[in-house]
A and B are shown apart, each in its own frame.
Chain A
Amino acid sequence: MTRDWSRARRDRAERLERARGLADGKWVEAERAPALLEALLRPGDRVCLEGDNQKQADFLARSLARVDPARVHDLHLVQSVVALPEHLELFERGVGRRLDFSFSGPQAVRLAQLAGSGRLEIGAIHTYVELYARYFVDLTPRVALVAAQAADAEGNLYTGPNTEDTPAIVEATAFKDGLVVAQVNERVERLPRVDVPAGWVDYLVRAPAPSTIEPLFTRDPALIGEVQVLMAMMVIRGIYAEYGVQRLNHGIGFDTAAIELLLPTYGEELGLRGKVCRHWALNPHPTLIPAVESGFVESVHSFGSELGMEAYVAARPDVFFTGRDGSLRSNRAFSQLAGHYACDLFIGSTLQMDLEGNSSTATRSRVTGFGGAPNMGCDARGRRHASPAWVRAGREGGGAVMPRGRKLVVQLLETWREHMEPAFVERLDAWELAGAMRMELPPVMIYGDDVTHVVTEEGVANLLLCRTPEERAEAIRGVAGYTPVGRGRSRAAVEALRDRGAIRRPEDLGIDVRRATRDLLAARSVKELVRWSGGLYQPPARFRSW
């Protein structure tokens, strides 16, 4: 008996045949979208419903939530971000059964409830590149439902500045005989640029309303506090200047926004322009504008875009990656790779840390996932090229006879969170969450053995210089302030670590704590960011006070 080597191809042809009559060429009317999906999908299909960090195929999500569960059910959804209520409605209606994802943000509580009730099976919570990698190995979508800004008659897609996951999803689907359906905001004669070629796209639907994009990376400088300014001073002086960090990625949050806003003031004062923070893997954060304008930032590659930054990015093509049309070209998969392999440092905030340095933002009642932070917040064991910061970190880590470099992975946290919750704990809440959700492993964002520095308002702990697990724990206690964990420290051990530079207090770094005021920020309001941008940054209405 001869084996059939093209079953997927024939299956694809059958599905296309079933959908014939619903489309005019590749174009389908919006109201026929649910019918199209019923024709294309089979029960149990693996479906990627594009839900990126920012851009959402929201119209296709609503259409999928309206299909007849008698015809389409038990789908296996594979998507990086579960952000919309419709994403979970699929599981409430039985259209979906299983979910593999990376991050759930606003739906975290409802997701935990659905998983708890057994109506949703979680395959695994991935990191971004990990999930994209599985698209090409064992989680290849049969059908991908994606979002783009515009298409031409043939079906070429223009994603606009938020390209994000689209290329990775479409490539995995189209080249394994899957089907690609795209929702677009508009149909145009001539696209500004082609982000996905027409040959990879099967159907197009013009969405009744533009796809949702949230300004997730905008941090209003008005909300940055003095403690964050102090921690930013310590990072700049104690880590960026110390190691000469030129290539880096910043996590999202007010802590890192404070660092960005201190470069043109405190960084300039320390003579660091041209010496640190030259190349970035970062979304176009509005708080980066002053550092760009004052000559710190030479290049930025982005995972996605940010609302309001379009005109600014277009006017700074030497800094940002842009198309011939002038608009940003982002690509989450490539930027994650850039962050992992080409950056000397990752820095981000966390909510909880234990004495091994494991950190997590997971809490009991929410299943969030960590998105891309773990991809960048870990040592790149496959890296082979040297840079001064990488080599120095490797030398400090020491140990083996064979010298090798090391990525700097910095975790920022105030010793107490809001409402007087200690951030340092003996045991992470992640253990309880794992128990409640019957997970194989507690959800850890950054593992302790990847963390090189912990920065709190009390100082910088350099874990590279700690030689034993006991020393690491003592160094962490040494910056854990007045939390129960911090008060468990031995004064003598902490002083010994201080002598070796494994703990550095602000005064050890030459930082006058009294200077830690908002006056040190290069911009203290969104309006001042607009001024720095020469009027090019156009913040969304919710960030304006004018």
Chain B
Amino acid sequence: MTAPPAVPRSFREASARRRLLDLLDPGSFRELLGPAARESSPHLAALDLPVSFDDGVVVGAGRLGGEPVLAAGQEGRFLGGAVGEVHGAKLTGLLQRALRERPRAVLLLLDTGGVRLQEANAGIEAVSEVMRAVLSARGAGVPVLALVGGAWGCFGGMGIVARCCDAVVMSEEARLGLSGPDVIEASRGVEELDASDRAMVWRTWGGKHRALLGEADELVEDDPAAFRRAALEWVRRPRPLSLPALEREQAFLARRLEELGGCADGPDAWRAAGVAEPDRLPLLDLPAWSAAVGGARRRRP
């Protein structure tokens, strides 16, 4: 008889608050501007739509490995984690607080489809402000990490935010990109992209593909403890935000585009990157995947 595999707690299924509690040192998290403050969206209320007491994002302070950090978690179950004006202001405010408090790092637990369409320009502006705040924090020497492991993944403007961070940690089940599959199908038609073909969706936006391309710096199991280990590691490895560093990154991206830009599908890119049997990759567990991709994995400088 096969021994039943252990069923670990899932990071993906946890609420935003639960994820933060699991990520930080036990008992250390203090929420700022919590739900009792009832800072909910005036736009949604004006449209007679349901609101959330925290506008779908939890922000606060805590400790990671004993050191002070600021952290935010988006609640993907509320409007797909979409960023509205209040939601975005809470993220921006947290990042600006970092300029004052100088924590060891800011951790962003992203789970979002991007801008909240109901809030239109206010939402777009909010996301731009988050981008600027991420870069300001980094510029001031506070590393910012993106941890992407929720059911929505991270799309739209928030996909750009993730890639403005010092590092991106993803689970295999998470997705990262700009326009997501549903958006592409809705705007370009099912002939262009069939969003119900989940295997295709994951080999295009999923964690394994992103990690192989160097978009994600580390790929972890869908396990709160694995995200915590990765966060402990990556807060110690900030990337400089300097002109030479950006030029190195630009060169990396240009080279990657030249090598893989012509590939039509994930496995084509994996083969072109140097993986021997690319079609096997989606089915491999993470250790086997790491061994199989080996040196073919691109790494952001």
Contacts and interface: CB of A to CB of B under 8 A. Distances in A.
A450 to B, nearest CB: 36
Nearest to B282: A546
B5 A546 contact: no
A475 B156 CA distance: 52
Q: What is the predominant secondary structure among interface residues of chain B facing chain A?
A: loop
B198 A522 contact: no
Nearest to A527: B173
A31 interface: no
A523 interface: yes
Given A524-B10, A524-B13, A527-B173, A542 B197 contact: yes
A546 B7 contact: no
Contacts of B199: 541-542, 544, 546
A295 B10 contact: no
Contacts of A542: 196-199
B78 to A, nearest CB: 17
Nearest to B173: A545
Contacts of A528: 5, 7
A531 B5 CA distance: 8
A544 B198 contact: yes
A534 B2 contact: yes
Interface in B155-207: 172-173, 196-200, 202, 206
Contact of A522 (B7, B13, B172, B283): B7
B66 interface: no
Contact of A524 (B7, B196, B208): B7
Contacts of A534: 2
B173 A541 contact: no
A175 interface: no
Contacts of A522: 4, 7
B15 to A, nearest CB: 12
A357 interface: no
Most chain A beta-carbon contacts within 10 A, residue among B198, B202, B283 = B198
A294 interface: yes
Interface string A510-526: 00000000110111110
B1 interface: yes
A200 interface: no
Contacts of B10: 524-525
Nearest to B175: A545
A523 B8 CA distance: 10
A293 interface: yes
Contacts of A535: 283
B283 A264 contact: no
B198 A545 contact: yes
B256 interface: no
A293 B4 contact: yes
Contacts of B229: none
Contacts of A530: 283
A483 to B, nearest CB: 23
Contacts of A295: 1
A294 B13 contact: no
A293 B9 CA distance: 21
A422 to B, nearest CB: 22
Contact of A546 (B1, B2, B197, B206): B206
Interface string B1-28: 1101101011001000000000000000
A525 B151 CA distance: 12
B5 A544 contact: no
A527 B173 CA distance: 10
Given A523-B7, A546-B206, A546-B282, A541 B200 contact: yes
Interface of B: 1-2, 4-5, 7, 9-10, 13, 172-173, 196-200, 202, 206, 208, 282-283
28 contacts: A264-B4, A265-B7, A293-B1, A293-B2, A293-B4, A294-B2, A295-B1, A522-B4, A525-B173, A528-B5, A530-B283, A531-B5, A532-B5, A534-B2, A541-B198, A541-B199, A541-B200, A542-B197, A542-B198, A543-B198, A544-B199, A545-B173, A545-B198, A546-B172, A546-B173, A546-B202, A546-B206, A546-B208
Interface of A: 264-265, 290, 293-295, 518-519, 521-525, 527-528, 530-532, 534-535, 541-546
- Closest 9 A/B residue pairs (Cβ): A541-B199, A544-B199, A293-B2, A544-B198, A294-B4, A546-B282, A295-B1, A545-B173, A546-B202
